[in-house]
A and B are shown apart, each in its own frame.
Chain A
Amino acid sequence: MISIKSVAHSYNNNQQLSFKDWQINDGEQWLLLGESGSGKTTLLHILTGILKPQHGEVSVSDTSIYNLSSKNLDQFRGRNIGIIFQRPHLIKSLTIAENLLLAQSFAQLPEDHRRIDEVLESLDILHKKNAYPNELSQGQLQRVSIARAVINKPALLIADEPTSSLDDKNAESVLQLLIQQSGLNKATLIVATHDKRVKDAFTNTYNLV
């Protein structure tokens, strides 16, 4: 279960962003809707444990994440939260398989090549396993970044504008993959977007004002 309670944050004491309480049950799929500047990225960063809010409490899998030490929080994030960015951001000097190995070892989990093959297979990019990121197309890269997010079977999968730089066809397929992968890995899914094409696929919506 994931919840935020009376969370508020402000940058440099400017206008304060406060977020209404939110509770997500395991396995649910949510849409986080909001225009640019509404604090969408801020809320995502707070949820993923990379930005400590000035007020309020955040818990993921019943762990109050901001009570963890910096090092434990990093490890917790690596194991329990998978993040998909608007752009793939793979490490260019490493092959696809090595990028996934990296995610395993940073989370201090054993390296598991079978798991890597399994995830790449389910995303239909196993044949690119030993290629470097600059040899892949944008759509393939986005699929690798989904693979990287789910490789450690996280409890929470968060996607930040995963479709905004893609055309209709790719956007649709990425969305399907996200829903499919969160189901496969029994992960709770949150997709933050202002992309209208995405809305119909979700029943649960959290609106930022």
Chain B
Amino acid sequence: MSPLKISWKSLWSKPLSAWLNIMLIAFGTSILTILLLASSQIEDKLNNNSKDIDLVVGAKGSPLQLILSSIYYIDFPTGNIPLKEANELSKNPFVKRATPLALGDNYNGVRIVGTDSNFVSLYSLKTQSGKFWKADLEATIGSIVAKEQNLKVGDTFYGAHGLTENKDQHKDHKYKVVGILAPQGNVTDNLILTNIASIWKMHEEPHEQKEDEEHDHGKEEAVEIQNREITSLLIQYRSPMSVAMFPRMVNQMTSLQSASPAMESTRLFSLIGVGVDTLQWFAVLIMLIAAISVFVNLYNSLKERNYDLAVMRTLGASRSKLFVIVILEGLIVTIAGTIIGIALGHFVLELIGNYQESSQAKLSGSIFITSEFYLLLAGLGIGIFASIIPAIQAYSSNISKILAKN
């Protein structure tokens, strides 16, 4: 009979309170697990998608919006910038590479991005079949797009105006799929890539037929086209020195603004951070209540059992053995609770991921991170915290006094 077996059997002689305590711990741990996993995955995704982009230049507006629309393809763009100014910036000596983006169309909710070959080198893209887009109206699509929209090389589709699903299709031009990207594990899996001229072309035609079709865009668009505009530029610096000079230079040009992905994601994180902090304290509170509950349970059961423990001493158990038996009883509860909690956290996160609509920030429950190891340690700590006082009592009890009482 090992002390572990004695503690185990004693624990399960009261299954209800054992389960209550295990569930309390598991609940607290699973909330912490979800928070840890979700924030680490979101952070990873943010960093992964922006890893080689030093600066985004776009129209004036919210810098966060500019980042969200041009790097994560989540929000709407801030507006357009003149191609002429963009080209000037691209030739600036501070800039190593400038990737132009033209947004504004979608296919069944998948964003169509007009860009050039810089985009390919920026994200180190490779195709799994077919080739990269070259001529107008050729499109290379992300791996997830190919799967979910059921598109193959050679298929054609119509783009629609706007960034979300709608019926306003550009019926005059058909895109043709010429290639499918290999899975990259970042936003490009969910994009349709084409050249900028295709995007321009899409918007030229309706303008000419405007009078008969009463197209929404009217005259603004006519002006746009004459001046040739794009949505934004993704900038890679030539040297670290550019950090100090270049953004200021851009912001001084009247119609443009620059936004740093690093700074904006930090800002975004500090905004969500408040909610995460609150939840975290909530989970810690639950864990604390669980610890107290384990303590009260052990303490009460020890009062009932101190005759049992005295009898164990008369059978030859040493003081330290009783100490271990009581500590183990607390530890079994908290460690079982922690493990169940971590498993539950992963399961719930996987479930959340399955119901998530946005494919850009999908969460997964099958990724393990090292901080979870600290959760286990925390469980261990709570177990010891909850059972140390009862264990010391068992250790130092005067068995002669206890036995004489009866």
Docked-complex contact A107 and B318, CB < 8 angstroms:
no
- Which chain A residue has the least Cβ–Cβ distance from B9? A93
Considering only residues 126-179 of chain A, those with a C-beta below 8 Å from chain B are: 148
The answer to whether B225 has its CB under 8 Å from any CB of chain A is: no
The answer to whether B370 has its CB under 8 Å from any CB of chain A is: no
- Which chain A residue has the least Cβ–Cβ distance from B10? A93
CB neighbours of B316 from chain A (8 A):
74-75, 77-79, 103, 106-108
- Which chain A residue has the least Cβ–Cβ distance from B14? A93
Considering only residues 172-222 of chain B, those with a C-beta below 8 Å from chain A are: none
Which among A75, A91, A94, A111 is the interface contact of B318 at CB below 8 angstroms? A75
Docked-complex contact B404 and A45, CB < 8 angstroms:
yes
Docked-complex contact B320 and A71, CB < 8 angstroms:
yes
A51 to B314, CA, bound (A): 11
Which among B2, B12, B403 is the interface contact of A50 at CB below 8 angstroms? B403
- Which chain B residue has the least Cβ–Cβ distance from A69? B318
Which among A50, A71, A79 is the interface contact of B399 at CB below 8 angstroms? A50
The answer to whether B313 has its CB under 8 Å from any CB of chain A is: yes
Docked-complex contact A70 and B318, CB < 8 angstroms:
yes
CB neighbours of B313 from chain A (8 A):
50, 74
Which among A45, A93, A102 is the interface contact of B315 at CB below 8 angstroms? A102
CB neighbours of B321 from chain A (8 A):
106
Q: How far does the Cβ of B313 sit from chain A's closest Cβ, in whole Å?
A: 6
Q: How far does the Cβ of B139 sit from chain A's closest Cβ, in whole Å?
A: 70
Q: How far does the Cβ of B405 sit from chain A's closest Cβ, in whole Å?
A: 10
Docked-complex contact B9 and A83, CB < 8 angstroms:
no
Docked-complex contact A102 and B1, CB < 8 angstroms:
yes
Docked-complex contact A71 and B318, CB < 8 angstroms:
yes
CB neighbours of B404 from chain A (8 A):
41-42, 45
26 contacts between A and B (CB under 8 A): A45-B403, A45-B404, A50-B313, A50-B399, A51-B400, A71-B318, A74-B317, A74-B318, A78-B316, A79-B316, A85-B311, A86-B406, A89-B307, A91-B311, A93-B9, A93-B12, A98-B1, A102-B315, A104-B1, A105-B1, A105-B2, A106-B315, A106-B321, A107-B316, A111-B1, A148-B315
Closest 8 CB pairs of A and B: A78-B316, A93-B13, A51-B400, A106-B316, A107-B316, A106-B317, A106-B315, A105-B1
Given contacts A83-B314, A102-B1, 12 further A-B contacts (CB under 8 A): A45-B403, A48-B314, A50-B403, A74-B313, A77-B314, A81-B314, A91-B308, A91-B311, A92-B13, A92-B308, A93-B13, A106-B316
